[in-house]
Amino acid sequence: MLEGEHLDALKKDHIGRIEQNAKDYVNRLWDLAKKDRDKYETVEELIESVKSQTTEDFHDYVDTVFFAHRAVRHGYDEDSPTWDFANSVFFTTTMLTSIGYGYVAPSTFGGRLFGVIYCLIGIPLTLVTVANVAKFLSESIFFLHYEIWNKCLEWKARRKGVVEVDPAQPMFGDDENEEEILDRVKLVRFPPLTVFMFVFVYGCLAAAVVRYWETWTYVESLYFIFISILTVVGVILTTMCMDVVGRMYLKEIHYLGRKLKSNNPFYLLREAKARRRRAAMASLLAQLAKGMIFAHKDYNELARKKSKRKKEKRRGSHVLPNEKFMFARLPPDPPSDCQVVSTSAYSVRLAWAPPFSPDPDLTYNIRYRLKHNEDAKNRELRGIKGNTVEIMSVDSCSLYEFRITAHNKFGESKAVYLVQYTGKGLATKA
């Protein structure tokens, strides 16, 4: 629709130019022959004179024919390319494969603009379709190869008199480790040579068909197949073959593992390892949660037996003396319920609730500084015992930031921050 009328008009224009140029050339020859026939004694001299004077006219005629041939024909084909339905379908199909093979091409602005928009939308859709079709073919080939391989194993087992395993029986036991599983697992590998031979045989058969239809030599047909047909149609087979090789030898089994879970040993191994890992983690978390509950419950009892524990041999870092719960030597929790009890122009009183810690020797550290002054020095109070402290070395009418942490022999807790403004006559601020 966009290019057909333009091509017809182009052909008509070039034919008109050829006819007009030929008519002008013949008229020029006739005029020179009549004009100069009395100047020369022989016909040969007249012919040479006319030829020398009409050389440029002949070259113009040849150029006109050449430009017309290049515009609407290709090579020495008998049929000139036209924008009929078959050629249009062939052109749009080759555009989607991004190779643009064909002698018919758009020459108008509208046709070229449509081709650009068509390719911007169609090429991604074509690539997705080709990839999905290749995935489907590779999945089918994998499944067929596995079934053939499995039937061969069953046939060999029957010949040897081996008892067949019940298919309903689980392949892996819960008490088996990875080494035992790997000893029994047989990996089914698709031979890569078969894949490449499949593509090569496909190209050779297609070359034979093209040679019969186009009366070409076999080498020309084979060359045409491998540069065009394998890119247009065979790209599906090529993608499928690359996918097969990639899956088997690069361990890219993300899609096939979801579709053929019962036939994929890598998937089964991964599931067996994950199941054991989840069971071990659940058991560990259950013991840890039990230990934390017992730790809160028995804390007072352990505090009363402090002197007795000092005399006993120090135990490991995971089990307390009553062996009822697990315990890791960690820093204490942060102080809770931190608040400003009172404030004046030159002092601030802070209070907090003690955090949970199995270590009774718990002290507190307080660091404070002016809030919005980057050059202000950090001041610190260390080794505070008790749950309250009054800080005297503060300036009046200033905004301070207080950082409170708990400390034991295993480390320091996370900090709790308080901000308080000092000033004369201010009310208490919590």
pLDDT in tens, 86-133: 777 877 777 777 665 556 677 778 878 888 888 888 877 877 787 787
Beta bridge partners of 391: 348
Residue-wise pLDDT for 133-160, tens only, equals: 777 877 887 788 888 888 888 888 888 8
Picking from 28-42, 43-57, 70-84, 91-105, which range would have the lowest pLDDT averaged per residue? 70-84
Longest dimension (CA), the chain: 148
Confidence of residue 255 (pLDDT cuts 50, 70, 90): very low
Beta bridge partners of 379: 368
CB proximity list for 251: less than 8 A, separation 6 or greater:
266
Q: Count Cβ neighbours within 10 Å for each residue of 53-81 and write b for 16 or more, e otherwise.
A: ebeebeeebeebeeebeeebbeeeeeeeb
Closest C-alpha to 56, from 6, 84, 97, 21: 21
Two structure tokens written together for 94: 């080759």
| 369: phi then psi, degrees, rounded to nearest 5 | -160, 170
Residue pair 383/420 in contact (Cβ under 8 Å)? The answer is: no
Residue-wise pLDDT for 378-408, tens only, equals: 888 888 888 888 888 888 888 888 999 998 8
Rounded-to-integer distance, Cα 97 and Cα 130, Å: 10
Closest C-alpha to 10, from 75, 69, 89, 86: 69
pLDDT at 233 over 60: no
Q: What angle do CA 99, 103, 108 make, to 5 degrees?
A: 95
Secondary structure E strands in 248-304: none
* DSSP structure class, residue 326: B
Rounded-to-integer distance, Cα 301 and Cα 240, Å: 70
Cβ neighbours of 84 (radius 10 Å)? 11
Q: pTM for this one?
A: 0.36
Reported as half-sphere exposure (CB side, CA atoms, 13 A), residue 68 has a value of 19
Q: Count Cβ neighbours within 10 Å for each residue of 150-180 and write b for 16 or more, e otherwise.
A: eeeeeeeeeeeeeeeeeeeeeebeeeeeeee
Secondary structure E strands in 292-347: 336-343
Each domain of the chain, given as residue ranges in start order, spans 4-126, 135-164+171-266, 278-327, 336-421
Rounded-to-integer distance, Cα 223 and Cα 308, Å: 93
What is the topology classification, in CATH, of domain 336-421? Immunoglobulin-like (2.60.40)
Reported as half-sphere exposure (CB side, CA atoms, 13 A), residue 268 has a value of 20
CB proximity list for 300: less than 8 A, separation 6 or greater:
none
